[in-house]
Amino acid sequence: MVKTKEVKQQQQDLSVFGQLAEHNHEKVVFCHDQDTGLKAIIAVHSTVLGPALGGTRMWGYASEAEALEDVLRLSRGMTYKAAISGLNIGGGKAVIIGDAAKDKSEALFRKFGRFIKNLNGCFVTAEDIGTTSKDMEYIRMETEHVAGMPETMGGGGDPSPVMAYGTYMGIKAAAKKAFGTDSLEGKKIAVQGVGNAGAFLVELLAKENTKVFITDIYADRLRDVSSKYGAQVVGMDEIYDLDVDIFSPCGLGGTINDKTINRLKCRVIAGSANNQLRDETVHGQALLERGIYYAPDFLINAGGLINVYAELVGYNRERAYAQAERIYGYTLDLLQKAEEEGIPTQQAAIRMAEKRIAEISKLKSTY
Ligand SMILES: NC(=O)c1ccc[n+]([C@@H]2O[C@H](COP(=O)([O-])OP(=O)(O)OC[C@H]3O[C@@H](n4cnc5c(N)ncnc54)[C@H](O)[C@@H]3O)[C@@H](O)[C@H]2O)c1
């Protein structure tokens, strides 16, 4: 039977190699172990700048296809995050398919550690959603290629404070562009999600005499942050309609979408959440048309990666903060460049990251 071009294209889209080819992933490793019930996928997107660093996420994916899609998307994001932050590491990610509340064991993580060991350093992992520093300790028993260890073990500990500081720097840079000053005094800021990252961010914002509005799924978190920093609690849906200067997504991704964009009254969107734009192309363009300055998520939330990277080169907290502070300059340059080129900021950020990777790959061709 002769296949039409359309059928061939569909098959290409569905095949694993087709998916790898789409964003030029280097390697994907499927890890399986009958005894421990381990089912994991490690995706190495790029090692041009250095070993691929990325967290291991444990999640109850509805299907294996969904897990593969997630790990491919997240590993590519890590490449861009590292590249645009000037770090000498590549991008990777791992997912373990399972329920983090029920399916964990020492044996499972140690087996997973052995799979990482077999990659001989081309992939280094750390904590992510569904995994903890305890899990990383189990992985560490089998391989040295793991970061994000507790401070007591010579690691950098919780990356959230450094991450929140970098995000704060990104917010100030975007404010400078939108309002002509990076002082946030008197600015009205809506923070969506006050978990680890959001709470540290609100603390920094409160020090600048801002008016902060917060929302979250968990009432106890809201009570805590509100009483500590005087932030005003609002409803989860209400947050999109507030008359604020800055909207800061710090919960889950995808909250900038067709349903929310037209409701936003802010001039700046800048927060810590990964993948804030539901559709990078469509919603990046929509924000440009609405005159909203969007500080790309992977640029301004890179402080977490910076903190983990710092461990690989000998952890020093002051140096990690100093590196996170550079996000201010990077964001300002990026917003300027996007404006000059008349393109969405997310697109400009991807171009900037890809440019660095292309340039460094050329110099590495000389032995
Ligand atoms: N913590 C870090 O070092 C770090 C680093 C890089 C990126 N990030 C990203 O920042 C975001 C927050 O990370 P975290 O470590 O604070 O996670 P977290 O789980 O500690 O907190 C997230 C909070 O957001 C809330 N939330 C989720 N969806 C929401 C919604 N629609 N409306 C209101 N609240 C909502 C949750 O209830 C939770 O309290 C995530 O997207 C994460 O991927 C975090």
pLDDT tens for the chain, 367 residues: list them: 344 455 455 545 568 898 888 888 999 999 999 999 999 999 999 999 999 999 999 999 999 999 999 999 999 999 999 999 999 999 999 999 999 999 999 999 999 999 999 999 999 999 888 998 889 999 999 999 999 888 787 788 888 999 999 999 999 999 999 999 999 999 999 999 999 899 999 999 999 999 999 999 999 999 999 999 999 999 999 999 999 999 999 998 899 999 999 999 999 999 999 889 999 999 999 999 999 999 999 999 999 999 999 988 888 899 999 999 999 999 999 999 999 999 999 999 999 999 999 999 888 666 6
Q: Quick one: tokens of 86?
A: 């000037």
Q: Which CATH class is domain 160-355?
A: alpha beta
Is 313 in contact with 155 (CB distance < 8 Å)?
no
Is 128 in contact with 59 (CB distance < 8 Å)?
no
- Ligand 1 centre distance from Cα of residue 297 (Å): 13
- Ligand 1 centre distance from Cα of residue 14 (Å): 31
Is 303 annotated as belonging to a binding site? no
Is 193 in contact with 250 (CB distance < 8 Å)?
yes
Residue 312: what pLDDT? Answer: 85
Residue 287: what pLDDT? Answer: 98
- Residues near 159 by beta carbon (within 8 Å), at least 6 away in sequence: 148, 303, 304, 305, 307, 308
- Residue 69, amino acid: E
Residue 313: what pLDDT? Answer: 83
Residue 107 CB coordination number (10 Å): 14
Is 24 annotated as belonging to a binding site? no
Considering the entire predicted model, what is its pTM? 0.89
- Ligand 1 centre distance from Cα of residue 196 (Å): 7
CA-nearest residue, atom 11 of ligand 1: 273
Ligand 1 near 54 CB (within 6 A): no
- Of ligand 1's listed atoms, the one at least distance from the Cα of 272 is 10
> What is each CA distance from 20 to 12, 29, 159, 215, in whole angstroms?
10, 12, 30, 38
Is 113 annotated as belonging to a binding site? no
User: Which of 172, 205, 189, 294 lies closest to 242 in space, CA to CA?
Assistant: 189
Residue 253: what pLDDT? Answer: 86
First to last CA, the chain: 49
User: Which of 93, 130, 72 lies closest to 308 in space, CA to CA?
Assistant: 93
- Ligand 1 centre distance from Cα of residue 252 (Å): 5
Ligand 1 near 252 CB (within 6 A): yes
Q: Measured between alpha carbons, how far is 236 from 240 in angstroms, rounded to an integer?
A: 8
Ligand 1 near 273 CB (within 6 A): yes
CA-nearest residue, atom 5 of ligand 1: 304
- Of ligand 1's listed atoms, the one at least distance from the Cα of 274 is 41
Ligand 1 near 272 CB (within 6 A): yes
Tell me the catalytic residues: 93
239 SS3 class: helix
Task: Give buried/exposed letters for 186-202 (b at 16+ CB in 10 A, else e).
Answer: ebbbbbbbbbbbbbbbb
Q: Measured between alpha carbons, how far is 287 from 132 in angstroms, rounded to an integer?
A: 35
- Residues near 148 by beta carbon (within 8 Å), at least 6 away in sequence: 55, 126, 127, 133, 136, 155, 156, 159, 308, 311
Lay out the sheet containing 52-59: strands in order across: 27-33, 38-46, 90-97, 52-59, 123-126
CA dihedral 318, 306, 90, 339 (to 10 degrees): -120
> What is each CA distance from 213 to 58, 93, 151, 235, 270, in whole angstroms?
31, 33, 33, 10, 14
Is 194 annotated as belonging to a binding site? yes
Is 195 annotated as belonging to a binding site? yes
- Residues near 92 by beta carbon (within 8 Å), at least 6 away in sequence: 42, 43, 44, 45, 52, 53, 54, 75, 78, 123, 124, 125
Is 310 in contact with 320 (CB distance < 8 Å)?
yes
Q: Is there a shared CATH topology between the 25-79+89-149 domain and the 160-355 domain?
A: yes
- Ligand 1 centre distance from Cα of residue 9 (Å): 36
Pick from 257, 272, 274, 306 the residue to mutate for probing ligand 1's pocket: most ligand atoms within 8 Å of its CB: 272
Q: Quick one: tokens of 60?
A: 């109850």
Question: How high is the ipTM of this complex?
Answer: 0.98
Instruction: Say if residue 224 is exposed, middle or buried (CB neighbours under 10 Å; 0-12, 13-18, 19+).
Output: middle
The CATH superfamily of 25-79+89-149 is: Leucine Dehydrogenase, chain A, domain 1 (3.40.50.10860)
- Of ligand 1's listed atoms, the one at least distance from the Cα of 163 is 3
Ligand 1 near 16 CB (within 6 A): no
Ligand 1 near 216 CB (within 6 A): yes
CA 157 to chain centroid, in Å, comes to 18
Ligand 1 near 292 CB (within 6 A): no
Strand partners, 189: 212, 246
Report the half-sphere exposure of 177 (CA within 13 A, side-chain side): 29
Query: Which spans in the chain are helix H?
Result: 5-14, 16-22, 64-84, 106-117, 133-140, 160-179, 196-206, 219-229, 280-289, 297-300, 303-312, 317-325, 327-341, 345-363
Token pair 């490690």 is found at: 42
CA dihedral 148, 118, 85, 357 (to 10 degrees): 180
Pairing assessment for the beta strands 211-215 and 188-192 based on DSSP bridges: parallel
CA-nearest residue, atom 37 of ligand 1: 217
- Ligand 1 centre distance from Cα of residue 95 (Å): 18
Ligand 1 near 304 CB (within 6 A): yes
Is 89 in contact with 313 (CB distance < 8 Å)?
no
Domain ranges, ordered by start, for the chain: 25-79+89-149, 160-355
